[in-house]
Structure 1
């Protein structure tokens, strides 16, 4: 399969996220777009109507380098898994709604913490939801370390700190994903009302494909130990990080 065909086979929501991250980040790094116009600046949003910043701050991942490649890989891998492996399979409106909730949550956090970009926390939020839905799926990290998927976001947080980072972006992503997961799934299980239902206008704009799975409002059956489909064709139950 050539690169063009592989790209064509990426599901639409994941394709939009990955393409946006690649195009905006590359354009900023190569001077095609001014970086200062891409980052989150609420003063400019309020007083100069620079509303594009609310979107470009999601897709601009900062400087090019190994961390950028890893984040794009995680975005592609876990977004595709969520979009095609049960939880959101053939239910694009539900996935779009989850992304919108993450986006708004991160904008609020970004406002109070003066964050310049929110794309990296979004990647961790997507990953965190998948890991909580598939907590017992074995994951193989670098250096042969194996653990349950539930711990993956926390391992990445610790790894970032050990390699010289602050871990702030990872922590904010974990927080964002956990808030969504708790309100959407755990709170109703504890007897609370369902507070996060996909709006009807999104369902009309992103209709379910034929043959969809159980409704998004139900507790995910995939929380039982099982291996989801691997969009990259990895053989076996484990998932190797850092390798295609």
Structure 2
């Protein structure tokens, strides 16, 4: 019964969030069990272009370091905000969500070459947090029960926390920058005088990921409809 309940809970996770978080956990488990090593996963343009090790374009987004506090912290935020986006503003728009992944990953890969980053998973998590926070500006956040602030400040609070842990903030800044580019092109520029939509999901992606059952143009997502249970970055809508 416990297994069936766990299986049901797992299958209720939206498909993109489920696939990505599962891939991250399995990759980390494989490294912990010494089935593979981080040297086979990290981003290296020379090995990709000269040795055709194209899997590195994907695997560098899947490894967050050895199991420990930093790994758990990243997994919680990745799962939480990826799911909130998929069940919120991307509900019924799986293809658009996949396209956001591809656009963010491509831009991050290009930028990553100039700042010599070998793993981009944490930056990708910050990108997801940034996009969610800008789309939910009225949500009040509580971080570790110590700080209270509105959602748009969350990526910067996480960057400060990362700095306190002794990590480089270049990763966080990259995630914020890419998240802002997507947010600007998708949410801001189309509403400006003379603006328009530059980001259009290719029809082949729509054909692969969108189904008629998923479409719900009348759905109006609320920040309260989100996975709960974590005190890190807990949110509440103002006036709620």
The normalised TM-score by structure 1 is 0.87
- Unaligned runs of 5+ residues in structure 1 are none
SS of the aligned residue for 1:147 comes to strand
| Aligned match for 1:193, one of 192, 196, 200 | 196
Q: How does 1:74-113 map to 2 (within 5 A)?
A: 74-85=77-88, 87-113=89-115
The residue aligned with 2:118 is: 116
| Aligned match for 1:18, one of 3, 16, 21 | 21
Count residues with an aligned counterpart.
230
Distance of 1:6 and 1:30 partners within structure 2: 26
Shift of 1:161: 1.1
Q: Decide whether the 8 Å contact of 1:21 with 1:59 is kept in 2.
A: yes
Q: Decide whether the 8 Å contact of 2:186 with 2:198 is kept in 1.
A: yes
- 2:70 maps to 1:67: yes
Shift of 1:206: 0.8
The residue aligned with 1:240 is: 231
Moved over 6 A (4+): none
SS of the aligned residue for 1:143 comes to coil
Distance of 2:165 and 2:202 partners within structure 1: 42
The normalised TM-score by structure 2 is 0.89
Distance of 2:165 and 2:58 partners within structure 1: 29
The residue aligned with 1:163 is: 165
Q: For each residue in 1:46-68, what CA deviation from the matched residue of structure 2 results, as whole angstroms up to 9, or x when unmatched?
A: 11100000010110112221011
The residue aligned with 1:179 is: 181
- 2:212 maps to 1:206: no
SS of the aligned residue for 2:123 comes to helix
